[in-house]
Structure 1
Amino acid sequence: MEYRCVQCGFRIKTLFVQYSPGNIRLMKCVNCKAVADEYIECELMIVLIDLILHKPKAYRHVLFNVLNHERTHFQGLLWKSLVGFLVLDAYRSLLVKRPEEEWGTSMSISSFFWIYRKMLMDVFLGNYMFLCSFLFAIRSLLKTSAQFSRFRDLLLAILISSYFKILLTAMMVWEFPPAVIYIIDLFVLSSNTVALKVMTKSTMNRCIGACFIAHAIKFCITQAFA
């Protein structure tokens, strides 16, 4: 990946020039003439707010200009993101699947192992089908090249843009109705769509279709083994 202007997505060689520690000058995009990445001087909270608001320029900042610094550690970043994604998905599966009456002190060993077997099947089989259907969708709908490095970049973008799953951890402290889980799923779907659009520059309809197909197949697979 290369640095990109957060306004128009045009490739740029450098984002700023540093004259001395703490003294930098932001570069302008040669295409749109705007500052290439104003988020460099912004607080992290501002970036997070714009990500939650689904602003494409915030996604370009994170996916191209922040992760670009991590290219030498790309493999490690990809695996860490994947592990975090699976852990949060496992917790989501527990929240959805567990029968409330079985989580008392009287829960049997067989019930305990049945619940965790279901959870592991949902997480690994569901996400395997999600990945396969996602790759198929972006190749057929978005006409994305079949280069392995390109798929890795897109996979990392999907994992990073699934940050809304972190909200599930709030259910460890507060009690929420089960519908909140599916609302978070919708936010994840919409965030994945914006990330995919930023990465591929495809139309919004095609990106929605690709992400919806992958999430729908994953949902059907996990429900089939409920």
Structure 2
Amino acid sequence: MASDYRCVGCGFRVKSLFIQYSPGNIRLMKCGNCKEVADEYIECERMIIFIDLILHRPKVYRHVLYNAINPETVNIQHLLWKLVLAYLLLDSSLKIVKDRSFLLRRTDQGWSFTESSGLMSVKVLIGVLSANVAFIFSFAIAAKGLLNEVSRRREILMGILVSSYFKIFLLTMLVWEFPMSVIFIVDILVLTSNSMALKDA
């Protein structure tokens, strides 16, 4: 069975990323193709990995998509469902921020729900679900036309979901007021992040 680990430099498959001699004493393996260390992010803290994700470094995307998620210890199917749920919740927050004037009313104490909030909440949910179903349906058609391998479709879906992490910043817009241009900037960052992940998927 071929290894799912990849060299973060060239994307070549490697058997293992490190050898552990004792707890805390490891030696990083080198890639057989480019002769560089296969994955230097193993020794990095999560904050450095997150910063490199924000900076759109291709190596960190390969680390996160291929080396950080171990299929032997993580149930990929459950992880995909959790990522889909988080993705839909973040999209819902974006829709709420865009339609805040319909859902919320400004008072002296802050924001309060309007009388039609329940109906608008249902509309937000239907809008988010229909937009994402349309996106996934068009994605599935494109993937079927471009890729015949089912396993590649799962990798690409995982890449899109993981690389949409910029949507987390939309949660701050539920608490603080920002100009609507921030949504456009976050959307651009999500698209560029998705393109980086899909390039390596």
Match of 1:83 in 2: 85
Q: CA deviation at 1:102?
A: 4.7
Shift of 1:112: 1.4
Q: Distance in 1 between matches of 2:60 and 2:113?
A: 49
Q: Contact (CA 8 Å) 1:26, 1:36: kept in 2 or not?
A: yes
The residue identity in structure 2 corresponding to 1:195 is A
TM-score (norm 2): 0.89
Q: Which amino acid aligns with 1:151?
A: R
Unaligned runs of 5+ in 2: 107-111
Match of 2:24 in 1: 22
Moved more, 66-75 or 48-57: 66-75
Q: Alignment partner of 2:128: what SS?
A: helix
State the AA in 1 paired with 2:135. F
Equivalent position to 1:123, from 119, 125, 128? 128
1:137, distance to aligned residue in structure 2 (A): 2.6
Percent of aligned positions that are identical? 52
Q: Residue type of the partner of 1:129?
A: A
Q: Given the superposition, is the C-alpha separation of residues 63 and 70 from structure 1 closer, same or farther in structure 2, using an over 3 Å criterion? A: farther
The structure carrying a bigger helix percent of its residues is 1
1:144 is matched with which residue: 144, 147, 165? 147
Gap regions ≥5 residues in structure 1: 200-226
- Other-structure match for 2:7: 5
How far is 1:101 from its partner?
8.2
* Pairing 1:113–2:118 present: yes
Greater strand share, structure number: 2
- Provide the rounded CA distance (Å) in 2 between the counterparts of 1:53 and 1:154: 21
Question: Structure 1: how far apart are the matches of 2:114 and 2:28?
Answer: 60
Counterparts of 1:172-187 in structure 2, within 5 Å, are: 172-187=174-189
Stretches of 4+ moved more than 6 A in 1? none
CA-atom RMSD in angstroms: 1.9
Q: Do the aligned residues in 1 keep the contact of 2:83 with 2:162 (CA within 8 Å)?
A: yes
Tell me if structure 2 keeps the 8 A contact 1:98–1:115.
no
